[in-house]
Amino acid sequence: MPVKNRFAELQDEITAWRRDFHENPELLFDTHRTAGIVAEKLRAFGCDEVTEGIGRTGVVGVIRGKGTGSGKVIGLRADMDALPITENTGVDYASKTPGAMHACGHDGHTAMLLGAAKYLSETRNFDGTVVVIFQPAEEGGGGAKVMCDEDMMARWGIQEVYGMHNWPGQPLGSFAIRPGPFFAATDIFDVTVTGRGGHGAKPHETIDPTVISAQIVLALQSIASRNADPVSQIVVSVTSFVTSSQAYNVIPPRVQMRGTVRTLSPENQDLAEARINEICTGVAAAMGAQAEVSYTRNYPVMANHDEQTEFAAEVARAVAGDCAEAPLVMGGEDFAFMLEERPGAYILVGNGDSAMVHSPEYNFNDEAIPAGCSWYAEIVERRMPAA
pLDDT digits (tens, 9 = 90+) for 246-274: 999 999 999 999 999 999 999 999 999 99
Domain ranges of the chain: 5-182+302-383, 185-299
pLDDT at 1: 45
CATH top class, domain 185-299: alpha beta
**Mean pLDDT, residues 161-186:** 98
Checking if the pLDDT of 345 tops 90, the result is: yes
DSSP 289: -
Check the annotation: does 104 bind a ligand: yes
Residue 386: pLDDT band (50, 70, 90) is very high
User: CA-to-CA distance for 323 and 188, rounded, in angstroms?
Assistant: 33
Reduced to 3 states, what is the DSSP secondary structure of residue 92?
A: coil
Check the annotation: does 165 bind a ligand: yes
For the chain, what is the mean pLDDT? 97
End-to-end Cα separation, the chain, in angstroms: 26
Is the distance from CB of 82 to CB of 103 less than 8 angstroms? yes
For the domain covering 5-182+302-383, report its CATH number.
3.40.630.10
User: CA-to-CA distance for 359 and 356, rounded, in angstroms?
Assistant: 6
pLDDT at 2: 65
Is the distance from CB of 107 to CB of 363 less than 8 angstroms? no
Check the annotation: does 358 bind a ligand: yes
Residue 4: pLDDT band (50, 70, 90) is confident
User: CA-to-CA distance for 116 and 133, rounded, in angstroms?
Assistant: 12
Q: What is the pLDDT of residues 18-54, one digit of tens each?
A: 999 999 999 999 999 999 999 999 999 999 999 999 9
Q: Percent of the chain at pLDDT above 90?
A: 98
User: CA-to-CA distance for 109 and 359, rounded, in angstroms?
Assistant: 17
Give CA 334 to chain center in angstroms.
Answer: 5
